[in-house]
A and B are shown apart, each in its own frame.
Chain A
Amino acid sequence: MPTIRMKAISSGDTTEVQALVQHPMDSGFVKDASGALIPAHHIETVIFEHNGKTVFTALWGPAVSKDPYLKFSFKGAAKGDTLSATWIDNMGKSDTGTGKIA
């Protein structure tokens, strides 16, 4: 199942992007029911690309919530273009999702 939900809406000049990423974002400071530490497991880098060019980068850490939401806007894209998003976490896992600009 895709872990990235994306909505990108162009209003002529700028494109507004909203995304929801499914990830546990464990901080490494929380204990489970048996008292054992849940190891840190969180996204470190999020990159959005448009036509091979990076338009947005976020460096996330353990303080970001579970299933994070983000919103940004950028210039230079047109309706119908494809936008891709990638996240990489501290365990080396990653996922990439794409969305069409509406």
Chain B
Amino acid sequence: MMIRRLLTAAFAVACLAAAAPEPSGPKADQAAFQAYFFDKFPDVKHEDFGNGPYAVNAKMRKQWQEIMEFPPYDFALDEGKTAWETPFANGHHYADCFDNGGIGIRQTYPRFDAKTGQIVTLDGAINACRVQNGEKPLAYQTGMMASITAFMAESSRGKPFAIEIPNDPRALAAYEKGKEFFYSRKGQLGFACASCHVTGAGQRLRGDILAPALGILAAMPIYRSDWGSMGTTDRRFISCSSQTRALPYPAQDESYRDVEYFLAYMSNGIPITGPGTRP
């Protein structure tokens, strides 16, 4: 009798749980994603997640603070500033292509473009601006593209990521594709982005400390000592793909743009720290 009553009670609870499904959609994903990291790293201040591995490892943080006495991205920043101030052949500037003259807007990219139904990254918008003004597009991974995005990121430091997913099924589809990419295992090693940057965040992968996925884009573009030069988000994605022995996609491929959209949206509220420096 007692047991039957208990079973009935358990059944009732199960029904209740089924009747109120777990909330889904980008907002709920974001809350769960951020809660996971805040819970995993209770001592890390939320705004510090933009500092990647330095937020979660005290020894690396100390070395980084010494490096920051003389940031290695300084030369790129100067180059970017000069290019920003130099007019195109038609007399227009980069500033003419962006909201607020391009200053302090990095945290609003990537964006969904309702005209094309595609995700536009900051890097993509810079090249669109060049083409629109009769200039050749820049190569995506390093060089001038990194310098210009460095300049734009620097002007946006401290502004929290504010990515919007407009009420458009195509925007939601891009978000879902990016999310799927992030959690899908790929390559010979069978790693998903999430394997290292969610589950493994803060742990060592050989000599490296894995950066938490939350805020990982806030420092872009980055000077990596491993590269000995600057690199954009594309360069980072492509080298991540190679490191897991997956065939990388071309820079600005739809997959990469979608995953950047997903990741940036997950990081809403985390302030921009770029340009950054990484080991």
Given A22-B75, A67-B75, residue A5 in contact with residue B70 (CB < 8 A): yes
Are the C-beta atoms of B228 and A20 separated by less than 8 Å?
no
Whether A7 sits at the interface, judged by CB under 8 Å, is: yes
Closest residue of chain A to B71 (Cβ to Cβ) is: A20
Any chain B CB within 8 A of the CB of A96?
no
A5 contacts across to B, CB distance below 8 A = 70, 74
Asked whether any CB of chain B lies closer than 8 Å to the CB of A18, the reply is yes
Q: A20-B70, A20-B74, A67-B228 are in contact. List 19 more A-B contacts (CB 8 A).
A: A1-B78, A1-B79, A1-B82, A5-B70, A5-B74, A7-B69, A7-B70, A18-B69, A18-B70, A20-B72, A20-B75, A22-B75, A65-B228, A66-B228, A66-B229, A67-B72, A67-B75, A69-B70, A69-B72
Binding site for B on A (CB under 8 A): 1, 5, 7, 18, 20, 22, 65-67, 69
| Residues 74 to 104 of chain B near chain A (Cβ within 8 Å) | 74-75, 78-79, 82
- How far is B208's CA from A45's CA once the two chains are assembled, in angstroms? 34
Query: What chain B residues lie within 8 Å of A69 (beta carbons)?
Result: 70, 72
Task: Please measure, in the bound complex, the distance between the C-alpha atom of A18 and the C-alpha atom of B228, giving whole angstroms.
Answer: 19
Kindly provide the distance from the CB of B48 to the nearest chain A CB, expressed in whole angstroms: 25
14 residue pairs A–B, Cβ–Cβ below 8 Å: A1-B79, A1-B82, A5-B70, A5-B74, A7-B70, A18-B69, A18-B70, A20-B72, A20-B75, A65-B228, A66-B228, A67-B75, A67-B228, A69-B72
- List residues of B whose CB falls within 8 A of some A CB: 69-70, 72, 74-75, 78-79, 82, 228-229
Which residues of B are found within 8 Å of A67, using beta-carbon distances? 72, 75, 228
Docked Cα-Cα span, A1 to B75, in Å, equals 9
Name the residue on A nearest B70 (C-beta). Answer: A20
Minimum distance in angstroms from B111 CB to a CB of chain A:
32
> Which among B70, B74, B82 has the greatest number of chain A C-beta atoms within 10 A?
B70
- Alpha-carbon distance A93/B72, docked complex (angstroms): 23
Closest beta carbon of chain B to A20's beta carbon, Å: 5
A22–B74 CA distance with the chains assembled, in angstroms: 10
Whole-angstrom distance between the Cβ of A62 and the nearest chain B Cβ: 14
CB neighbours (8 Å) of B228 from chain A are 65-67
Question: Please, how many angstroms separate the alpha-carbon atoms of A18 and B71 in the complex?
Answer: 12
**Cβ contacts under 8 Å, B79 to chain A:** 1
Q: How distant is B185 from chain A, measured CB to nearest CB, in Å?
A: 32
Minimum C-beta distance from B211 to chain A (A)? 23
Bound-state CA distance A26–B78 (Å) is 22
Which B residues touch A22, using CB under 8 A? 75
Q: How far is the CA of A20 from the CA of B75 in the complex (A)?
A: 10
Instruction: Write the chain A residue with the least CB distance to B79.
Output: A1
CB distance from A57 to the nearest CB of B (A): 21
A50 CA / B74 CA spacing, docked (Å): 25
CB-CB under 8 A from B75, the residues of chain A are 20, 22, 67
Residues of A within 8 Å of B82, CB to CB, are: 1
CA distance in complex: A5, B78 (Å):
12
